[in-house]
Amino acid sequence: MKKVLQGLAIATHPVFLPIFSLLVYAPLVAYHGPSIKILAAIWVAFVYLILPLIFLKVVRKVDFNTPGLEGRKSIYKTYTLINAGFIAVNIFVFSEYVSFFIGFFFLHLLLWFLIFIELKASWHTAAWSFLVFAGLLILYRYQLVGLDMRVFAAFVILLVVCATRYFQKAHSLFELGMGVAVGAITSIIILFF
């Protein structure tokens, strides 16, 4: 059971959120050609996954299994800066994604602030909560057919993530709730961009 929970935690990790965001954003970027989607996927994999992991592991020496307070600060600071870069690039490439990365930028900024006041929130639940509420706001804004089932799927995954992190004893119920609240609050930004 422990390996199943660990596998679920890895499969739903927040570093994969640009990929998971297609669950909600796929109808908005469907008109782009396959070549730009492949190029974007390679760029996201390099800049959002490979580069930060190397930086955090080699330069900052963050223990990913049990990151301490300083490790969490480094992780959130790194991803705050990465999302700022994604905002700048997506203005020209995928303009639909600008609001997503602005919201995700503020999500990491808020998590970083919470660490400074020594309040721990679940990064996993914050990311998936952000995706669920972003999907609801996109559904409200664009009225896309079939998006409601995609948002429901993201909601089910959020529930699975909450259960997984709780049964792994990685977070208390309060920390999971804080993560959901952070994701919900920061997704509101999508309405304004």
pTM: 0.84
Q: Choose from 25-29, 40-44, 116-120, 126-130 the range with maximum mean pLDDT.
A: 126-130
Secondary structure of residue 135 in the 3-state scheme: helix
- Residue 88: CB atoms within 10 A of its CB come to 10
Mean pLDDT of 65-73: 81
Q: Which of 8-12, 50-54, 90-94, 126-130 has the lowest mean pLDDT?
A: 90-94
Mean pLDDT of 146-153: 91
Cα dihedral 86→39→57→78 (10° resolution): 0
Q: Choose from 41-45, 59-63, 151-155 the range with maximum mean pLDDT.
A: 151-155
- Which pLDDT score is estimated for 36? 73
Mean pLDDT of 99-124: 90
Residue 125 identity: T
Q: Comparing 6 with 177, which gets the higher pLDDT?
A: 177
Provide the pLDDT confidence category of residue 122 given band limits of 50, 70 and 90: very high
Mean pLDDT of 33-47: 78
Whether the pLDDT of residue 35 is over 70: the answer is yes
- Structural contact between residues 165 and 52, judged by C-beta atoms closer than 8 angstroms: no
Q: What is the pLDDT of residues 84-101, one digit of tens each?
A: 887 777 667 667 778 888
